[in-house]
Structure 1
């Protein structure tokens, strides 16, 4: 690849956006204290963000389809920069909530464009690997964004934590403006044609998978620290180290998923819920033992980010004619799945205890396996799904890359 850093610049933008969305989770106690609000009110900074993404994601993606992709990514990052700057000095909770809500509308727009841009910047046989590299920004943001933001707030101030998010988005903005080629869309799909993919029943089975896999992942991971504290009896420092290990494994998971998907989308997707179920059972039965748990966490981290990569690829493989809209569906329904999974995991903990949270994840994995199997049975495996690439001449000026 002539300019491999281009994909990593796009991925860094993903990290900045995810850090803005989820980093606030690590500083909710400081926000509660500063503005004199309840924990439930502070939690709205997270839930309202996710709810807007879930509801408006596909529509916002449709609205901005056809715009120059480079300009769209730059403008979205500019909004995130402004949002974080105002958040750092928000005079009251109402202002903070308002400036958190606005960028949430644009969150799925960047995501949908980012995956298309990455896929179109490489040869067809490398497109899934390119998308996997973009997912590195997502996995690092999800796993490390919270502890990094929390650390900055505790060591310096709440304002510094928001300024950190602003700085990350600013660096990504500069990289995109200065280094990415222009990415005009020369063939704009009509809204009708993009919405037409919803007529395909296999799309809805894929959308179900997109919701169930993140639900299965986050119904357990959301309570990762509590599980290690109460079941594995780890200290706060040990749990922090496990979070870092989990995150590092997640970066590796993106690369592994990309290679597996490039060989066989169907086999990789079918096996995922089976393998993660095995890991969850190991967590359930060996969770009290430190050394086995450390080894399990490595594999768990790999599967965590692989699951998001796999579910996105599973959806796009049935909607390559409208990739931006399909990515909008992915962002929307994966956020819905995260909300559902976290809620069900909380119910299991409230009624049965922390160790039983594992079964909430397995329930969603069973549902994911059913939706995957139905699509394969009804619409495959005669179709040769190997990799995802957008077959279009979207970009007039983007340099095409030849295989080595």
Structure 2
């Protein structure tokens, strides 16, 4: 039984890796795509921005619509849609067709990821759920840190078509593994749409959404311009910058593993302390940003915290609405994507108006706002918070 659960979680992690890799992998080959389709790099960038917009739009809706259908069938459907989109992207010479082949599957991105997180949590005891979810999040981190360099390497050494084929291969592998090894998972207790939407009438849900939005803005608002920061402020070479980005991504994976243990043993304390610790890291970063070695150490620590933060965000929204897991995970995906968009936009304005080094204060301000939302939830919803704290002590 334990082996079957481990296999299930492994397949879910690979599936999430394939979905995230399809989203993020094109970042490293945007110039090549622009040349291939004979469009500007900014226009080719629509393959990234419209993908993210589709996720933000469908996050609260499609997981809700599919919440009553057999989980295995839904996962196979989403993987099939991604495979078709991947294959079309490989063979088409038309940019509009290629864009549609990416954006249409993107709407189903939250469906697969939300189900993967819900299934991972449901496959183990409630106490062990954060650890199971953290293993799925390793797929998220791997999709972000490995997808870009792997696809870029394939495009540079073989061909763009082979690089694009990598997306399809991973999703085809997951489809076959899901078909053969994942058991049928009919929904045991189908929740009405109304009962799930009702969580939006609860203040705890909105405080959780706001906290997650600010926490993710704090991380990705700064991370979006990390390469710029290391170039302008730290004066690193391109090769060292690439190495630092890899360090950050690998540290994310370590953070996922740590987060599983922290959220299993000390959930409320971990969430409450997190913005304080990350704020301190940003403030140190501001003062040592011109020094190469301290900056490298900060990026390692920051990367670990980034991995922990991803798990905290999912846990914080899920714990506010545990009876509607698919819908809650959809809200989580929308919240983090909006946080990333807002954080990156504000940081971009700061760079243009004041200077690159000051983007760290965008992170600090976002963390302060997120911390306030966390304290408000802990204070206004003491019974629920106390219940989670008691479970801390019981463990």
Change (3 A) 1:192 1:161: same
Q: Which residue of 2 aligns with 1:392?
A: none
Deviates more, 1:243-252 or 1:100-109: 243-252
Please show how residues 188-267 of structure 1 align to structure 2 within 5 Å. Answer: 188-267=190-269
Q: Which residue of 1 aligns with 2:102?
A: 100
Q: Which residue of 2 aligns with 1:174?
A: 176
Q: Which residue of 1 aligns with 2:143?
A: 141
CA contact (8 A) 1:264 1:387 kept: no
**Over the residues paired in the alignment, what is the CA RMSD in angstroms?**
1.6
Q: Which residue of 2 aligns with 1:82?
A: 84
CA contact (8 A) 2:58 2:108 kept: no
Out of 257, 277, 280, the residue aligned to residue 278 of structure 1 is: 280
CA contact (8 A) 2:81 2:105 kept: yes
State the 4+ residue runs in structure 1 displaced beyond 6 angstroms. Answer: none
Out of 374, 382, 386, the residue aligned to residue 383 of structure 1 is: 386
CA contact (8 A) 1:256 1:306 kept: yes
Please show how residues 296-311 of structure 1 align to structure 2 within 5 Å. Answer: 296-311=298-313
CA contact (8 A) 1:317 1:387 kept: no
Q: Counterpart of 2:145 in 1: which secondary structure?
A: helix
CA contact (8 A) 1:108 1:331 kept: yes
Q: Which runs of 5+ in 2 are unaligned?
A: none
CA contact (8 A) 1:139 1:251 kept: yes
Residues 106-144 of structure 1 show CA distances to partners (whole Å, capped at 9, x for unaligned) of: 000001111111011112221110011111111111223
With the length of structure 2 as denominator, give the TM-score of the two structures: 0.95
Structure number with the bigger relative contact order (C-alpha 8 A, sep ≥ 6) is: 1
> What is the alpha-carbon distance in structure 1 between the residues aligned to residue 306 and residue 7 of structure 2?
24
Out of 320, 323, 348, the residue aligned to residue 321 of structure 1 is: 323
Q: Counterpart of 1:91 in 2: which secondary structure?
A: coil
Q: Which residue of 2 aligns with 1:397?
A: none
Change (3 A) 1:120 1:337: same
Offset at residue 380 of structure 1 (A): 2.2
Answer yes or no: is 1:40 the counterpart of 2:37.
no
Offset at residue 147 of structure 1 (A): 2.2
CA contact (8 A) 2:249 2:303 kept: yes
Out of 154, 157, 167, the residue aligned to residue 156 of structure 2 is: 154
Q: Counterpart of 1:6 in 2: which secondary structure?
A: helix
> What is the alpha-carbon distance in structure 2 between the residues aligned to residue 343 and residue 144 of structure 1?
25
> What is the alpha-carbon distance in structure 1 between the residues aligned to residue 172 and residue 157 of structure 2?
22
Offset at residue 386 of structure 1 (A): 5.8
Offset at residue 298 of structure 1 (A): 1.4
> What is the alpha-carbon distance in structure 1 between the residues aligned to residue 158 and residue 287 of structure 2?
40
> What is the alpha-carbon distance in structure 1 between the residues aligned to residue 251 and residue 390 of structure 2?
23
Q: Counterpart of 1:129 in 2: which secondary structure?
A: helix
Residues 315-363 of structure 1 show CA distances to partners (whole Å, capped at 9, x for unaligned) of: 1111011011000101111111111111111111112222111111112
> What is the alpha-carbon distance in structure 1 between the residues aligned to residue 252 and residue 191 of structure 2?
35
Residues 358-381 of structure 1 show CA distances to partners (whole Å, capped at 9, x for unaligned) of: 111112111111111111111127
Number of aligned positions between the proteins:
388
> What is the alpha-carbon distance in structure 2 between the residues aligned to residue 199 and residue 10 of structure 1?
31
CA contact (8 A) 1:273 1:366 kept: yes
Please show how residues 342-361 of structure 1 align to structure 2 within 5 Å. Answer: 342-361=344-363
Q: Which residue of 2 aligns with 1:391?
A: none
> What is the alpha-carbon distance in structure 2 between the residues aligned to residue 159 and residue 386 of structure 1?
52
Q: Counterpart of 1:58 in 2: which secondary structure?
A: coil
Q: Which runs of 5+ in 1 are unaligned?
A: 389-404
CA contact (8 A) 1:249 1:299 kept: yes
Q: Which residue of 2 aligns with 1:336?
A: 338
CA contact (8 A) 1:212 1:364 kept: yes
Offset at residue 387 of structure 1 (A): 11
Q: Which residue of 2 aligns with 1:55?
A: 57
Residues 5-48 of structure 1 show CA distances to partners (whole Å, capped at 9, x for unaligned) of: 32121011111111111111111111222222223321211111
Q: Counterpart of 2:186 in 1: which secondary structure?
A: coil
CA contact (8 A) 1:262 1:387 kept: no
> What is the alpha-carbon distance in structure 1 between the residues aligned to residue 301 and residue 382 of structure 2?
29
> What is the alpha-carbon distance in structure 2 between the residues aligned to residue 150 and residue 215 of structure 1?
27
